[in-house]
């Protein structure tokens, strides 16, 4: 989705924004890429590294548990700084 879509939908109760970057980037403690540190207000942080093993393969039980919290959302928008880490979550069915 583009930035205009995110702006239009970010405050809707049926939409969940998922920031898939590391927690330090989500919290604004470390930002090597984006011009503004932190996250989109209202977004939840689901870092992709927390649910993959050392080979970047999915830890299935952790994925199921994590996404259970947002399963009732009509729309889940996953983002990161470049598209790379968001694509990991997209692999598991969330985009």
Instruction: Give per-residue pLDDT as tens, 48-74.
Output: 777 666 776 666 676 677 777 787 889
- The single residue of 15, 18, 77, 80 carrying the catalytic annotation is 80
**Which SS3 state, helix, strand or coil, does residue 82 take?**
coil
80 is catalytic: yes
Do 26 and 80 contact (CB within 8 A), yes or no? no
Query: What does the chain come to in residues?
Result: 95
pTM recorded for the entire structure: 0.78
Position 10 scores a pLDDT of: 93
For residues 28 and 42, what is the distance between their CA atoms, to the nearest angstrom?
14
Tokens of 47: 């870092």
* DSSP character at residue 47: -
78 strand-pairing partners: 18
Domain ranges of the chain: 3-91
Domain 3-91's class?
alpha beta
**Residue recorded with tokens 């205009």:** 4
């Amino acid at each position: 989705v583009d930035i205009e879509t995110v702006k239009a939908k970010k405050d809707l109760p049926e939409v969940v924004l998922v920031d898939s970057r590391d927690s330090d980037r989500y919290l604004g403690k470390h930002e090597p890429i984006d011009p503004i540190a932190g996250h989109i207000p209202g977004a939840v942080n689901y870092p992709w590294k927390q649910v993959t093993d050392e080979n970047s393969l999915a830890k299935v039980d952790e994925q199921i548990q994590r996404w259970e919290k947002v399963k009732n959302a009509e729309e889940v928008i996953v983002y990161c700084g470049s598209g790379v880490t968001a694509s990991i979550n997209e692999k598991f069915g969330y985009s």
